[in-house]
Amino acid sequence: MRGLRGATQCSANTVEAIEDAVTELCRELTSRNQLEPQQIVWAIFTVTHDLDADFPARAARVQGWNGVPMICSQEIPVPGSMPRVVRVLLHVDSDGPRNHVYLRGAQALRPDLHVRP
């Protein structure tokens, strides 16, 4: 069993922008961790308070996570926090390294994962 984290920043609070960012995040998480959707036990998505046009779980289903139990919630609205961010916590039934994925502007949330040699 592994726990995997990921986040991305949406370009806008629209269905299209949320779907675009979340499907990219889901693809990268499955690719970088060599996962099949059936290995994902569950997923918890959170969004910042400024994202309410769509549920990230819907976009994850569009990407192929049809059988994955998912729930969406809202992040604590901390003053000065990065806007338009979708985060995800996955519980997966597989072994291997944990390749957390932070995309777009959300890379700034975990600069330690994006160190350039």
Residues 6+ apart with CB under 8 A from 55: 45, 72
- For residue 116, pLDDT over 90 is answered with no
User: Is the pTM here over 0.75, yes or no?
Assistant: yes
pLDDT per position as a tens digit, 19-54: 999 999 999 999 999 999 999 999 999 999 999 999
Q: Where are the alpha helices (DSSP H) in the chain?
A: 15-32, 56-63
Answer yes or no: is 87 a known binding residue: yes
The answer to whether the annotation marks 5 as part of a ligand binding site is: yes
For the chain, report the end-to-end CA distance as a whole number of angstroms: 30
- Alpha-carbon distance of 39 to 32, in angstroms, equals 14
> Mind listing the domains of the chain with CATH numbers?
2-113 (3.30.1330.40)
How many helices (H) and strands (E) in the chain?
2, 5
What are the tokens at 48?
């910042």
Asked whether residue 2 is marked as a ligand-binding residue, the answer is: no
